[in-house]
Structure formats: C-alpha cells, structure tokens
Chain A
Amino acid sequence: MKSWKFLLITGRSLKQGQAAEQGKFSPEYINETTTVEIGKEDAEKLGLSDGMEVKLKNTCGEGIFHVRISQGLPSGILFIPYGPSANLLIPAETGGTGMPGCKGIDVELLKER
C-alpha cells in the first residue's frame, strides 16, 4: 500500500463544537471527528476526493478517516477536528509541561482501496 508523509494538525471546528452538544454518540459528532481535511492540491496529487476513506498512522496508533477537501490547507498538512479519533494519533509526551503536542504531528497517510 502506498503511503505519504504529512504533518497533522488537530483543532476545533464549528461542526465539532456543535455536534458535541448534540451528543458525543450522535452521528454528527462521530462523522465530524473522523473527518480528515486535506488541501486541494494534495488531494488531486493523491487522487483523493470528498468522502473517500484513508488510514492515518504513526507511532502512537492509527485510525480510519474520511476525506474532506479544504481550501485553506497548505500542501503537506492535514487537519482533523478534536475528538477521540484524532487522539489515537497524538503522542502523550508533554516535554515536561503537561501539554501534549496536538499540532504538527508526523503521520503517514495510507489510501484504502
């Protein structure tokens, strides 16, 4: 399976905030927090389109996400809204500060067939 290296950023999205209020087990929340955003250019290069499933993995863990193509993302960077799925990929090392590094994480993207 082919894989590409990316830097992953996790963060808030409006939908995630809203969906959490609808319930952590609501389809809206699950859907939003298993979405990975990718820049248009990268998506084209990798042959990805909205809704396609990809696997993301790194030394912390792995997860399946579905693609959403985003205008704002520069090449080489992925974005996932905060949530249990994103947390599979976030290292718990805090550099002695208490704060895990939730942004700019090395991940590999694998295209599901």
Chain B
Amino acid sequence: MSGVGEMNEILLRPKVEFDVPVEAEVISPDLFAEKSHEEIGSLPVFLGNRKMCLKDLFEIEGQSSTNIVLEGDFSRVKKIGYGMSRGKIHIKGNVGMHTGATMKGGEIIVEGDAMDWLGAEMNGGLIWVKGSVGHFAGASYWGSKHGMNRGMILIEGNTGNEVGKKMRRGTIAIKGKTGDFLGVGMIGGTILAFSETGERPGAEMKRGSIVLFLENCTNPPPLLPTFTYNCTYSPTFLRVYLKTLRKLGFPVKEEYISGKYRRYNGDIVELGKGEILIYEP
C-alpha cells in the first residue's frame, strides 16, 4: 500500500462537503494516466445536474499517474474507478455508490465504508474495503443476466443484502456480518462469509460456493428447505482459497484451513448444483 507523498501519484481532496450526489467515473487510473495536471482538472463531473470540472470540486495534486489517492469524505461521490482496467485508487475515507463497478483490472483500496453496488458486474481486479459496504456488492445490476464475472472483493466490515447476486465467477470474502440473500441467484464463483449472515443465503443459486464460518454467531439462520445436506468433509479447494486470502493479508484463522465443513447442495428449485459449506468448529 502506498502512502501519501509517494512519488508519482495524484491526490484528490473534496473542496466542499457535497450536499447532493456527485458522479465522477472520471476518477480512474485509465483517465488520469498520461494527462497533465490541467487536463485532469478539466475532466467532467456532475454535481447533481450541474456539469462541472474535476478541479471545481476537488483539490488536485500531481499529474500523469495511474496511482490515485483520495483523501476526505467521498461518500456522496459515485462511480469512482468505474470500469477501470489498471492502476490503483486508494481511498482514505468513505466512498459512494458504484465504486469499482464494471472494473476490469487494477486495485481499489477503501479505508472507510463503501456504499451500494461496490464492484457490481466487475470483470477483474481487486477491491479491498477496510470498513463496511452497502447492498449489492459484486452483484448484477437490475435486469442483467449476471453480476461479477471475475476478480476479487475483500471486505473487512459488514455488508448489506444480496451481495454477489447472480455472480458468475470471482471471489468475495467478508469478515463481518452479511445481510439477507447472500449470493442470491449465483451462477458461479465463491463467497466466503466469516461472521453471521442474514436470511436465505444462496437462494435460487444454480452453481457456485458459499462458505459460511458463522464466527460468533449463536443463532444462525436456518438454510432454505431447498438445500440438502450431503456430508461433512475437508474440501481441498477451500484450503487453496483460504491460503490465497492469507497470502494477500486478509485475516483467516488457522483452524479454518484444516477444518471440516458441512456440505449442502441447492438451490434445488434451480439447477441445484450450488453449495453452501458450513464450518464445523
């Protein structure tokens, strides 16, 4: 992780507290690369319905970099890193909706919280949120056939509902609590949820894996009746996933790696080839 003041990075700070939403998909390494300070400052953003320049809303330091640092409250700034394919955005604060949605590559690190649609329909890259996130992280947008298609989303805090909705590939790991309908309609991919989860995880999933560790969870929600228990075992693939997370620096307890898991398959109203693995302490 890079700190402020490092060579060759671009630093943005909001000039004011935004009272209406800002749309700023131009805050993206793809667009900041090979642009002068002046050119970056002239990129278009929307403050509500007013089209403005980036420099009207933000203090900008630096130029021509794929390494972007955001300082301050960006919780009303939407679409940061939308569709980005490379480079890095480090957000030292909270961030608004659609952060990293449809991104194809690169890295986004959020020190604070992120709002809904984080990494929605993403196609690659890494998003790491230290705080909590809203609904629909890694999900499909309304009407779409599938959500996240590749890449990785790591969340240390809690999440809202329908995380990983209709995801097809990729990995989502959540340290904190997750909301209802985790991995609803999943087509593939892997979700690892370390704490408590809301109701109906895996509903309507066709394929894919949801792993529940239910840490500190005294009263886990019952699975849907359309999931059926198969066996208790130690899935090797899970060891690979957990080791990979650890290598990246995401906290994973040793006992999970060698642990046993109850395997349920479902959702039998759909294809039924999905699975929920529940850690057995």
Residues of chain A having any CB pair with chain B under 8 Å: 95-96
Contacts and interface: CB of A to CB of B under 8 A. Distances in A.
A97 to B, nearest CB: 8
A96 to B, nearest CB: 3
B135 interface: yes
B116 interface: yes
Contacts, number: 13
9 contacts: A95-B160, A95-B161, A95-B162, A95-B180, A96-B116, A96-B134, A96-B136, A96-B160, A96-B162
B179 interface: yes
B135 to A, nearest CB: 3
A95 B163 CA distance: 11
Interface residues of B, number: 9
A95 B198 CA distance: 12
B33 to A, nearest CB: 33
B11 to A, nearest CB: 31
Contacts of A95: 135, 160-162, 179-180
A95 B116 CA distance: 10
Contacts of B116: 96
Given A95-B160, A95-B162, 7 more contacts: A95-B135, A95-B161, A96-B116, A96-B135, A96-B136, A96-B161, A96-B162
Nearest to B198: A95
A17 B160 CA distance: 35
A18 B57 CA distance: 51
A107 to B, nearest CB: 20
Nearest to A95: B161
Interface in B128-167: 134-136, 160-162
B44 to A, nearest CB: 27
A95 B162 CA distance: 9
Contacts of A96: 116, 134-136, 160-162
Contacts of B180: 95
Nearest to B181: A95
A86 B136 CA distance: 29
The 6 A-B residue pairs with the shortest CB-CB distance in the complex, in nearest-first order: A96-B135, A95-B161, A96-B116, A96-B136, A96-B161, A96-B160
